[in-house]
Structure 1
Amino acid sequence: MTVTKILAGGCQCGAVRYRVEGGLDYPHLCHCRMCQKAAGNYFMPLGFSPGDRLTLTRGEASWFQSSDPVRRGFCRDCGTPLFFDTLQSDGVAVTLGSLDEPSAVVPVSNDGVETRVPFFEALAGLAGKAVDRSDLPGGLESIASSNHQHPDHDTAHWPASEAR
């Protein structure tokens, strides 16, 4: 019996959901300036889904042509970056942070290091602390009780109000 690895993911609001059968190839962190801007972060974690292993299970992505050979897919409702599509390739990369279980895919490389932020290596040494959000009335509970984020699993209906 062959076991096929299946990964699922989607955007923050749940308007776009996808699944990848067979896992992802070459998971990596891209530090190029285009990926930094597209992610709004110091790098973008990506993994490649060859061929037709990627299936949209809800909604459709919107696309931005970031260069002639590359377009980037995102949710038009919440803005979550989801896909990196090199047009001449047979497949598409997904953003690892959009996976329901982002820790299931471990990056194997840092790419685009010529534009990596100079303090990247020091980030792992920063102190860590739990966030209590005491700056908000009601603290973390006010966020948890009003959370509009899609859960990290497929749902029959979303938003939850559609199930009624």
Structure 2
Amino acid sequence: MELNGGCLCGRIRFNVTSEPRVHYCHCDMCRRATGSAFAVLAWVPSPDLTWIDATPAYRRSSPIAQRGFCPACGSPLSLAYDVSPGEIALHVGTFDDPARLEPRYNYGSGQRLGWVCCGVDLPHRETEERW
């Protein structure tokens, strides 16, 4: 499998060579970082991700994680937890063909907004972090 994607302005492109593990994330941190009701994240082993032409800028989004973004257009691109350096999440909306990446579970379900109804039939996993 090979998947490609990039930021809104096209400055940063990426290539992924493995099947991502995709989920909805309802945690406070993802909501604030994306400016949306939830994030849809595609997790891949770090060695299976190649940044093309340019690499993201990074900022610490919490005491446990950092996020990558395009410094030119501001597109959020990635999430990486300090305790899991071998994997990285990419925002599904940044893939060229996001329709191929269907979420399989929910994360942070206890923080789901009451009016969010997508994925309610999928398995749920909790988080203890709140930001």
TM over 0.5: yes
**TM-score bracket, shorter-length normalisation:** 0.7 to 0.9
- Normalized per residue, the structure richer in strand is 2
Q: Residue 15 of structure 2 is aligned with which of 15, 19, 27? A: 19
Determine the C-alpha separation between the residues in 1 that align with 2:83 and 2:27.
20
Indicate whether 1:8 and 2:4 are aligned.
yes
Where in structure 1 are there 5+ consecutive unaligned residues? 123-164
The 5 Å alignment of 1:90-105 reads 90-105=86-101
Question: Can you list the C-alpha shifts for 1:99-131, whole angstroms capped at 9, x where unaligned?
Answer: 000011100011111111111128xxxxxxxxx
- TM-superposed deviation, 1:51: 3.7
Q: Secondary structure at the match of 1:38?
A: helix
- Contact residue 24 and residue 41 of structure 2 kept, 8 A: yes
- TM-superposed deviation, 1:23: 1.9
Count, aligned residues: 117
Q: Which residue of 2 aligns with 1:32?
A: 27
Q: Which residue of 2 aligns with 1:73?
A: 68
- Normalized per residue, the structure richer in helix is 1
Determine the C-alpha separation between the residues in 2 that align with 1:58 and 1:42.
31
Q: Which residue of 1 aligns with 2:125?
A: none
- TM-score scaled by structure 1? 0.68
Q: Which residue of 1 aligns with 2:42?
A: 47
Indicate whether 1:61 and 2:56 are aligned.
yes
Q: Percent identity between the aligned chains?
A: 34
Determine the C-alpha separation between the residues in 2 that align with 1:114 and 1:91.
24
Higher RCO structure, 1 or 2 (CA under 8 Å, sep 6+): 2
Where in structure 2 are there 5+ consecutive unaligned residues? 119-131
Q: Secondary structure at the match of 2:93?
A: helix
Indicate whether 1:88 and 2:112 are aligned.
no
- TM-superposed deviation, 1:34: 0.7
C-alpha RMSD over aligned residues: 1.2
